[in-house]
Amino acid sequence: MKSERIKKAGYTYLNVAAIVACLTVIALILAAVFFRTPGEDAPSEPLDQLSAAPSDETSVGSDASDTESESLSGPFAVLTEQTVPNAQVASGDLILVSNEYHYTHPDPASLASIFENKSGSYKCGDTSGLAEARAIEAFNEMLDDFYAATGSGSVTVLHGYLTPEEAGDRYDRADDKTHTAQAGGSDFHTGLSFSLTVYPSSDGSIGDGSYAWLSDNAYRYGFILRYPEDKLDVTGISPSDGHYRYVGRAAAAYMYENNLCLEEFLDLVERATPEEPLLWDCEVGSFAAYFQRASDGTETMIWVPAVLEYSVSGNNRDGFVVIASNG
């Protein structure tokens, strides 16, 4: 009997030990659940910072820094800093040259021969005409399509780039000096403009008949009529049906659709900001633009899109125009 009581007591101790062990395990599990170390299993950075991490895409401005602004919305939601020499205020497709804002081309020797690079769809008045290579390329495309549409090969380039001396000679010979570009104030100093006529004259005149195709379609190739008929009070220069200026396709499309000359477009963009950019759609895509004023000194820090393709042009007045492709 005594041995049976000892055996039963042993079983009882084992049962109690098992129960205690189970309770201990349960207590440890509950402690792990309710008293987990703060921040365990959480991301090492806030979610909003993770989602706003810089993209691996490369923007057109390859010298931009890695500093970014994430406080905006829309097409310029993520911006990055870019330092631009203030000398570039006088560089780009949107520079404004007038009797008020003079300009000297920084490197006329870099200009290309229009005659040597022309297509077979138009003529040159002589072999000495010069222009920026990108403008000649776009001009060739426009005149090739004009020839395909009309069958006329009579459009003739009188000249492209003019030196200040050549512009001064034209000013001296002009009957209406009030509305003629002075030396230093000619749009032809840019190397982005072409003066056109029709030769022989018996085939018609620029702006009339089939040649109206040019003014109706030039924007598709990045060109505008620099001095339209109804903008004398804005440009200060006598209207010309034969003066075509390259400004880039996006800007040209906006100016054409909204009946703006270059001065009016630049004034409009100057009021736009990254928070409230100028937005438009055209045949070549959706675009957004804004203005960054040049600072005092030799260079300016401007904000440019971090993940959108963009261009920066000076306005030859007081700052930079940023135009981004927004889709």
* Annotated domain spans of the chain: 1-42, 57-94+260-327, 102-246
Closest residue by Cα to residue 308 from 56, 75, 67, 65: 75
**pLDDT > 70? residue 8:** no
Between CA 270 and CA 277 the distance in angstroms is 10
pLDDT band at 327 (very low <50, low <70, confident <90, very high): confident
Q: How far is CA 54 from CA 200, 290, 322, in A?
A: 59, 22, 20
Could you tell me the two tokens for 143?
């005149």
Would you state the pLDDT for residue 21?
Answer: 53
- Domain 102-246 class? alpha beta
Residues 265 and 283: their CA atoms lie apart, in Å, by 19
Cα-to-chain-centroid distance, residue 253? 13
Residue 224 has pLDDT above 80, yes or no: yes
CA angle (83, 274, 295) in 5-degree steps:
40
Nearby residues of 88 by Cβ (< 8 Å), 6 or more positions away: 312, 314, 320
DSSP state of 176: -
Query: What's the CA gap between 121 and 143, in Å, rounded?
Result: 6
- Assess contact for 155 and 123: CB atoms under 8 A: yes
Is the pLDDT assigned to residue 200 strictly greater than 80? yes
**Residue 235 and residue 243: Cα distance in Å, rounded?**
13
Q: State yes or no: pLDDT of 153 exceeds 90.
A: yes
Tokens for 96, please give them: 């404004």
pLDDT of residue 72: 52
CATH tag, 57-94+260-327 = 3.30.200.180
Query: DSSP label at 103?
Result: -
Q: What is the mean pLDDT of the segment spanning 23-43?
A: 44
Structure-block tokens of residue 157: 């380039």
Both ends of the chain: CA-CA distance in Å?
95
The amino acid occupying position 315 is: N
Determine the residue type at 25: V
Residue 284 · residue 249 · CB < 8 Å: yes
Give the HSE-up count for residue 261: Cα atoms under 13 Å, Cβ half-sphere: 21
pLDDT band at 27 (very low <50, low <70, confident <90, very high): low
pLDDT of residue 49: 27
- Tokens coding 100: 């008020």
Overall average pLDDT of the 128-154 stretch = 98
Q: Is the pLDDT of residue 185 over 70?
A: yes
Q: Which residue has the higher pLDDT, 56 or 300?
A: 300
Contacts of 168 (CB under 8 A, 6+ apart): 182, 183
Cis upstream peptide for 46 (omega within 30°): no
Mean pLDDT to the nearest integer, 52-57: 34
What average pLDDT does the structure give for the chain? 84
Q: What are the b/e assignments for 256-275, b being 16+ CB within 10 Å?
A: beeebbbbebbbbbbebebe
Contacts of 15 by beta carbon, 8 Å cutoff, 6+ apart: none
Do 300 and 314 contact (CB within 8 A), yes or no? no
What is the rounded CA–CA span in Å between residue 5 and residue 8? 5
Q: Is the pTM of this model over 0.75?
A: yes
Give the model confidence (pLDDT) of 66-122 as tens digits: 444 444 556 777 899 999 999 999 999 999 999 999 999 999 999 999 999 999 999
Q: What percent of the chain has pLDDT over 90?
A: 74
Phi, psi of 69 (to 5 degrees): -115, 130
Position 55 pLDDT exceeds 90:
no
